[in-house]
């Protein structure tokens, strides 16, 4: 990538992040603590949902490669290669829940139990944040949600939490990609 293309992409990313989150670097913009809190929540929610979606993609790709004896790194190419494969995916594989597909991979590949537990944890977190409008929950509900959203005793809004979460995501991606 040349320098001009790189600058253009960086500007586009900056513009998108300002639109989707907030321009927290602009000192002339009046922002409350709640604005910053909401921006953190959006970033963390995006990371969780994006990681879950990519793991789901890899699991579905792995199932297709095993069942249809392929070695593709692109699910779209597998689906486009054969109408029967496409129908089986849409009629069967996509109808199986994420965790059931992960269990299937666990049963037919060398996926370790520790990795399956990480997949389950990420799935539980993703499912639970999907129903939370904000991570700023009342003290009455805090104990319940903290138990669900804690990751190795770190609060979901902490950098330690996201660091550990992303380490586990990378571990899952590396392992699923390499068997």
Where along the chain do its domains lie? 49-177
Amino acid 178: pLDDT: 84
**74-83, 116-125, 136-145, 150-159: range with lowest mean pLDDT:** 136-145
Is 60 exceeded by the pLDDT of residue 138?
no
DSSP sequence for 13-38:
HHHHHHHHS--TT-TTS---HHHHHH
Give percent of the chain above pLDDT 70: 84
Is 90 exceeded by the pLDDT of residue 139?
no
Give phi and psi for 154, each to the nearest 5: -110, 140
Is 70 exceeded by the pLDDT of residue 141?
no
Q: What is the largest CA-CA distance in the chain?
A: 58
Give phi and psi for 133, each to the nearest 5: -70, -40
**pLDDT category, 172, cuts 50, 70, 90?**
very high
A 10 A CB-CB count for 133 gives 8
Closest CA to 40 of 157, 140, 130: 157
């Amino acid at each position: 990538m040349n320098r001009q293309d790189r600058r253009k992409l960086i500007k586009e990313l900056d513009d998108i992040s300002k639109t989707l989150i907030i321009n927290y670097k602009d000192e002339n913009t009046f922002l409350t603590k709640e604005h910053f809190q909401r921006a953190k929540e959006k970033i963390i929610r995006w990371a969780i949902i994006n990681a879950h979606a990519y793991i789901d993609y890899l699991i579905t790709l792995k199932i297709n490669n095993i069942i249809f004896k392929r070695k593709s790194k692109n699910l779209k190419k597998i689906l486009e290669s054969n109408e029967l494969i496409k129908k089986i995916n849409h009629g069967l594989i996509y109808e199986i829940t994420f965790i059931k597909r992960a269990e299937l991979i666990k049963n037919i590949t060398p996926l370790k139990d520790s990795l399956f537990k990480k997949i389950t944890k990420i799935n539980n977190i993703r499912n639970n944040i999907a129903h939370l409008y904000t991570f700023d929950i009342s003290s009455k509900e805090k104990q319940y949600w903290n138990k669900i959203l804690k990751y190795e005793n770190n609060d979901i809004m902490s950098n330690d939490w996201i660091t550990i979460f992303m380490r586990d995501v990378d571990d899952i991606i590396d392992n699923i990609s390499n068997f």
